[in-house]
Structure 1
């Protein structure tokens, strides 16, 4: 794991649970992505959510960015997001892995 993504998403007022459910439902397609090593979605505040995922290489990260979840998120953004997601590519410099 050398490559990651840090994404923050803010839900529109009253749409927090819709975004939370979207993130829960997103796990299934991500499980089918062989290049996505880890994937976490989480709540930061009542309306602010995050996604953090890791990849073995840049190609896997780019594939994820054009995958099913990213496409669905772009399509639903106007429906329950207060603004566009903030997507940051990150380079992992140290990690502890289970095993």
Structure 2
């Protein structure tokens, strides 16, 4: 059962909006390789604000994701792409409906 999640807010540097969008789109292939990350979304909240929402069945899986390849790639590119450090929030999932998902 999905109980644990992360929401990461990313603010692009001026002129880096497209690069952030491309980075997040490329992150899907890494997310697909993480067996312990069943839910992963890359989001655009405004022209300069982006986000990642992902959810997990355990705290262990959430921590593994925070130390995994997507997080490492994001931190390696953060100084170049982002106006501020990523804002990472651990959140509890109270309910889930996932009836249909498409690539």
Cα drift, residue 98 of structure 1: 1.7
Shift of 1:60: 0.6
The count of aligned residue pairs is 99
The structural deviation recorded for 1:97 is 2.2
Runs ≥4 in structure 1, deviation > 4 angstroms? none
Unmatched tracts of structure 1, length 5 or more = none
Verify: 1:63 aligned to 2:64, yes or no: yes
Q: Runs of 5+ in structure 2 lacking a partner?
A: none
TM-score when scaled to structure 1?
A: 0.97
1:95, distance to aligned residue in structure 2 (A): 1.4
RMSD: 0.9
How far is 1:32 from its partner?
0.6
Match of 2:52 in 1: 51
Partners in 2 of 1:69 and 1:53 — Cα distance? 11
Using structure 2 for the length normalisation, give the TM-score.
0.93
Per-residue deviation at 1:96? 1.1
